[in-house]
Structure 1
Amino acid sequence: MPFHPAATLIYYWAVLSRYQIIVSTLSPLKQKFFRVLWLTNVVSLVGTLMHDVGAAWFMTTLAPTPFMVAMVQTASTFPFFILALPAGALADIIDRRRLLLTAQIWMLVASVLLGVLTVSGMTTPLVLLVLTFFLALGAAVNGPSWQAIIPELVERNELPSAIALGSVGFNLARAVGPVIGGLIVAAFGPGVTFLLNGVSFLGVVVVLKKWKRVEQMSTLKEERLVSAMRAGIRYIRHAQEVRSALIHSLLLSFFCSSLPALLPILSKKYLGLGSSGFGILLGFFGFGALLGAPFLPILRQRLSLNVIVLVGTNLFALAAATIANLHSFVFIAIAMVAGGMAWLILISTLIAVIQSVIPSWVRGRVLSVHMLSFFGGLAGGSALFGFIAGGIGIPSTLNVVAGCLVVTSAVTWNYKLKSGEELDLSPSMHWPSLAVSCQPDFDDGPVLVVVEYRIDPEKAQGFADSMYALKTIRRRDGAIRWNLFHDLTDPGHYIESYIVESWGEHLRQHERITVADREIEKSVLSFHLDGRPPKVMHFLAEPLPVKNKRTDIS
């Protein structure tokens, strides 16, 4: 074969470019605190996955039915469904470091208690499910805060790499933890894995205790829990890019849950494996995720986000169909590697999309709703497919899941995913302070805000298009009603009005507006012709006296 210097140079340039992408993924590890916290978290995740192996395998001994084994995964995921939104609101309104420490210590105690009871021979199926549920309660509180602190630990341009490293760390633990857990269960019993899981939380507790977190100060009164939850839900209702990612996450987690839920009894019944063999199979899944991690930045450069999710979904469907029909350890191991790659691609892509489009003030709440959809799907799917497998068998159930995943990839294609990596979501703080004649109480309301515009009537359509984007910002950041009115006697005269539930909530709008939002405001103001900023008026609802009905009638 003739030597082509130009072709060879291009080839090595491509290889080095890919290497540079992989190196950039590791760049957040150069920061000492992030590196230490990441390493201790990987150790903690290894302990958690050892627990998962021990709990699932222990249930095959205590109550060896597909439903009861699947209920272990339901117990470990259902708390995320019921606690996600309150935990996300807490992550946004109180100190995240203190919340993380509380959750980590809670999980440590629950794990040690389960370990002691199991070693003592006192664990029943109900005890196992209840303490697994308690352990998951701590994880549910921990999750939103943990994900929300990532932007505090790295630079903005390193955020996608930090998110990818989180997935790499989890899947590194997934490759190692189940294998170690299976070997320990085989040698010493499941109680030891539960105790070691408790010990694994100590490193994270020590590191968090030493963290000198810089709190983001606000001049406003702390939000109440219920109103903070409402604000989070309102934000998601009016953020299309977030809703699309949540729909993807819910459907994928629901169908993909079948594989980890049914794998323990499949490996025991169809492959004749013990706990160590089951752990090795789970290790292949984690190994596949590790193999997929270096390719993720390359995929994101070359393919759209929806195409990446389409590929990942169908690859997981292929893995499920292979496991359903080829009951050979070698083929199932290969399928688990493929499934792990698909899982890493799907989860990392969806989390990166969500993290890139949400500002800091609502990050915990949005991430908690993502957890709600994700773990709600896992819990519901595990229970449903465990029940179905008890009737039609595991292979038939996995074939059904594979078909449903193919259909899901077609259905979710219409829910477009958008990346916000180029958006500046830092607070702009450009709204002026309000000079009022009488300062309202924080909870007074509702508040009506009116903005008056004068535009060229020939540009009315462009103005309306810009106002539609501004409407999304107003509703997302606190407005409960929004309208745009035009003057019937003056075609260039428009009034924007929106209502906020309280004076305090309107003041929070001043802190929530981002630099990216300001660009949309500038687009709207480019249509304004008055030569000065639009007139903005604020009205507070006037309470009327309550009169006696009998007096009114008389």
Structure 2
Amino acid sequence: MRDKLTADSATASSPRPPAAMDIGFFCRGQDLVGRTFASLKYRNYAIWFAASLVANTGGWMQRTAQNWLVMSDLTNNDAFAVGIVTALQFVPIPFIMPLAGALADRLDKRKMVVLTQFGMLLTAVALGVLVLLGWANVLVVCLFALAIGVIQSFDNPPRLVFISELVPPRWLPNAVGLNSMSFNIARLIGPALGGLLIGIIGTGWVFIINGIMFGATLIALALMRPEEFHPAPRPEKKVSAIQGTIDGLRYVGNRSDLLVIFAVVGVVSCLAMNTPLTTVSMSTMEFHADSTQFGIVSSMVAVGSLSGAVVGARRTKQPRVRSVVGAGVAMGIAVTANALAPNLLIYTLTLVPVGFFMLIMLTAANAAVQMSTSPQMRGRVVSLYQTVNQGVTPIGSLVVGGISGAAGARWGVGIGAIGCLVATVGAYLWGRRKWDVEVHYRVRHPFQLEILGPLEHENEEREAELRANRTGQTDSGQSFTAEDHDEVEADLFEPEDEAHDAETGHSPQRAGGLEWQDTHEEPDVDGHPNAAPAAETKETRDE
């Protein structure tokens, strides 16, 4: 018996063999991959993801073909005409998109997306036919660009909010991140494929192929299983689209956390996200790059954006205002380095973190807006967010282009860096005064900052107490309740808002997936039933 105990003790104290450590490493890698692509386990979302990748690739092909058509085929390298065509696609956004959001809250989002995608299909095919027949001119392209802008303004709100009906609320941040990943993969593939096809079959056929690729979305919507949807409740009171838009504006006005996100994203989108303009101006005016070098420079933002989308897709918890502000600060620093780059190589390399933090910020903002908004108001709030995000693009192009022409390309980039830092620091100072926040910075992992305040320090103490009692609660048959989890996970950047509480019945602190989670257990990535939300490990929470 003693010999057996000695042998067991020796075995227990001996180090793990390398093979065991390798297995643990690969298990962690599999867990990381599983968490990144968790939403794809839901059939409806997997179909939507694949269809979106195809449709977005076709959309970027059409943008490339449209610019080439106007620049090379219809004019003698008239960049102003290209600018007009591009701007016309954004003109309808502030006028139509808020109304489309109100309609998305009242109507079937799936049917709205079917109509808008069919409209995009028709316009692409019609423009392609006119080009092949030789009937296209700049005016015709401008009219089609305006029509596409109108359809996209109706398409964006229901399409973005529709994602929330394809996965349980728990996985919405992950689904939003994967949606951004799909868009950026298409942004890498689409222009290159479009340019290749222009040389082989011509611009007209590229438009027609894009129309066919929009059919992928229609097929995907037909293949989905309605019984697996997670529909949001419709507004009880039916009002007109205009009144619904006014209600949405009033709702956002009573939510100081949403106002901070809108302000930060609006300023950054206006001044710091004009990368197509700033990359061409820096490449030609400052570094005198040739066409091959410019192609490499242009792809670097997409590489960084794709990396940011992958990281954003790992998120399974509701992002907070601090996520948006923190990413905005990091982006401001990256854009500053971009503006001060001494040569083309350094400039090209600094574009990667610019794209990375840009996508981190946009993914966090999109998920925070959707998850912290009452489901009955989600379409209107998302449409207002998209109006701010995309509607400022023409204004930003004029401002950045004017500064680049008058003061030089570096100042055109520099105004974006200044805008990022002023907006984010201003948001922090305003939040500190409005919400009585004291911020400390703590490095938890490389390249990751966590913002802590007095409330969060109290929550850490409370969390430690709850974690210490959890083992005893489990042994006695009690569970770690959602209310305890809410108290532990209350965020310092989520202010209590009485008007919001009165309207939605819960505070922004509780506007995450806990209120909306399904009563049945959803399988997690490994196929096991989900534990109570508070059973997440400290490591997962910090990530």
TM-score by length of 1: 0.67
CA contact (8 A) 1:22 1:294 kept: no
Deviations 1:70-97 (A, max 9, x none): 4444223332222111000010111212
Q: In 1, distance between residues paired with 2:195 and 2:291?
A: 5
Could you say which residue in structure 2 is the equivalent of 1:261? 277
Does residue 250 of structure 2 align to residue 234 of structure 1?
A: yes
Residues of 1 paired with 2:413 and 2:48: CA distance?
Answer: 38
Contact 1:47–1:197 (8 Å) recurs in 2: yes
Letter of the 2:90 partner, please give it.
Answer: T
| TM-superposed deviation, 1:357 | 0.3
Distance 1:41 1:158 in 2: 18
Match of 2:357 among 342, 350, 363: 342
| Root-mean-square deviation over aligned CA pairs | 3.9
- Check 1:118–1:295 CA distance in 2 against 1; reply closer, same or farther (3 A cut): same
Would the alpha carbon gap of residues 265 and 44 (structure 1) be closer, same or farther in structure 2, given more than 3 Å must change? farther
1:156 equivalent in structure 2: 169
Shift of the alpha carbon at 1:245?
Answer: 1.3
Q: Measure the CA separation in 1 of the matches of 2:220 and 2:264.
A: 34
Shift of 1:270: 6.9
Q: SS where residue 149 of structure 1 aligns? A: helix
Aligned mate of 1:288, from 275, 300, 304: 304
Work out the CA distance in 2 between the residues paired with 1:60 and 1:268: 18
Answer whether contact 1:299 1:308 (CA < 8 A) is retained.
no
CA–CA distance in structure 1, aligned partners of residues 411 and 373 of structure 2: 41
Match for residue 222 of structure 1 among 238, 262, 287: 238
In the aligned structure 1, how far is the partner of 2:355 from the partner of 2:32?
21
Change (3 A) 1:241 1:311: closer
CA distance in 1, matches of 2:329, 2:82: 25
CA shift, 1:292, in A, is: 2.5
Residue equivalent to 1:46: 57
Q: Map 1:500-539 to 2 at 5 A.
A: 517=506
- In structure 2, the residue matched to 1:419 is none
Task: Please give the alpha-carbon distance, in whole angstroms, between the structure 2 residues aligned to 1:519 and 1:377.
Answer: 27
Q: CA shift at 1:333, angstroms?
A: 3.8
Q: Deviations over 1:155-209 (max 9, x none)?
A: 1211111111111111111221122223333444443432322221001012223
Q: Distance in 2 between matches of 1:86 and 1:97?
A: 17
Q: Please tell me whether residue 473 in structure 1 is matched to residue 503 in structure 2.
A: no
| CA distance in 2 between partners of 1:281 and 1:190 (Å) | 24
Where 1:78 maps in the other structure, the secondary structure is coil
The reply on whether 1:373 has 2:388 as its aligned counterpart is yes
**2-side partners of 1:298 and 1:122: how far apart?**
48
- Given candidates 192, 210, 217, the residue that maps to 1:204 is 217
Give, as a single letter, the amino acid of the residue that structure 1 aligns with 2:500: I
User: Which residue is 2:464 aligned to?
Assistant: none
Count of aligned pairs = 429
- Residue 247 (structure 1) shift: 1.1
Q: Structure 1: which amino acid aligns with 2:257?
A: E
Q: Take 1:470 and 1:291, find their aligned partners in 2: how far apart are those partners?
A: 35
The aligned runs of 1:405-416 (5 Å cut-off) are 405-414=420-429
Flag the 1:374–1:123 CA change in 2: closer, same or farther, 3 A: same
Q: In the aligned structure 1, how far is the partner of 2:430 from the partner of 2:26?
A: 34
Q: Which runs of 5+ in 1 are unaligned?
A: 417-467, 478-515, 522-554
C-alpha contact (below 8 Å) 2:339/2:411 kept by paired residues:
no
Matched, 1:250 2:266: yes
Preserved CA contact (<8 Å) 1:66 1:262: no
8 Å Cα contact 2:90/2:149 also seen in 1: yes
Structure 1 residues 415 and 518 mapped into 2: Cα distance closer, same or farther (>3 Å)?
closer
2:59 and 2:301 map into 1 onto residues whose CA distance is 16
CA 1:213 to 1:406, structure 2 compared with 1: closer, same or farther past 3 Å?
same
Q: Give, in whole Å, the separation in 2 of the partners of 1:394 and 1:174.
A: 24
Q: Is the Cα–Cα contact under 8 Å of residues 100 and 145 in structure 1 kept in the other structure? A: yes
Structure 1 residues 216 and 24, CA gap change in structure 2 (3 angstroms): closer
* Aligned partner of residue 239 in structure 2, secondary structure: coil
2:398 to 373, 380, 383: 383
Q: C-alpha separation between the residues in 2 aligned to 1:57 and 1:71? A: 14
CA contact (8 A) 2:102 2:241 kept: yes
For 1:146, the equivalent position in structure 2 comes to 159
Code of the residue aligned with 2:47 in structure 1: it is V
Q: Against the structure 1 CA distance between its residues 331 and 518, is the aligned structure 2 distance closer, same or farther, given a 3 Å change threshold?
A: closer
Q: Which amino acid aligns with 2:326?
A: L
Task: Quote the offset at 1:275 in angstroms.
Answer: 7.7
1:401 aligns with 416
Aligned to 2:128: 115
Shift of 1:404: 3.0
Displacement after TM superposition at 1:213 (Å):
3.7
Note the alpha carbon deviations across 1:240-276, whole angstroms, 9 max, x for none.
Answer: 2222211121111111232123445665777777888
State whether residues 107 and 138 of structure 1, in contact with CA within 8 Å, keep that contact through their aligned partners in structure 2. yes
CA–CA distance in structure 2, aligned partners of residues 389 and 67 of structure 1:
16
Question: 1:77 is paired with a residue of what secondary structure?
Answer: coil
In structure 2, the residue matched to 1:315 is 331
The answer for unaligned runs of 5 or more in structure 2 is: 1-13, 432-494, 511-543
Aligned 8 A contact 1:67 1:386 in 2: no
**Which residue among 99, 112, 131 is the counterpart of 1:86?**
99
TM-score, with structure 2 as normaliser: 0.68
Please tell me the residue identity of whatever aligns with 1:244: V
Question: For 1:404-553, what aligned pairs fall within 5 Å after superposition?
Answer: 404-414=419-429, 471-473=498-500, 476=503, 517=506
Contact 1:66-1:390 at 8 Å conserved across structures: no
**Partner Cα distance (2:25, 2:423) in 1:** 34
Q: Is the 8 A contact 1:81 1:371 kept in 2?
A: no
* Cα distance in 1 between the residues matched to 2:19 and 2:223: 51
Match of 1:356 in 2: 371
CA shift in 2, pair 1:306/1:117, >3 Å: same
1:115, CA displacement in angstroms? 2.3
Q: Say if 1:319 and 1:339, in contact at 8 Å, map to a contact too.
A: yes
Spell out the pairing of 1:164-175 with structure 2 (5 A cutoff). Answer: 164-175=177-188
Is 2:232–2:375's contact at 8 Å kept on the other side of the alignment?
A: no
Once the two structures are superposed, residues 21-70 of structure 1 have per-residue CA deviations (whole angstroms, 9 ceiling, x without a partner) of 44223111112221111101111001111222233344443364665444
SS at match of 2:90: helix
2:115 paired with 1:102: yes
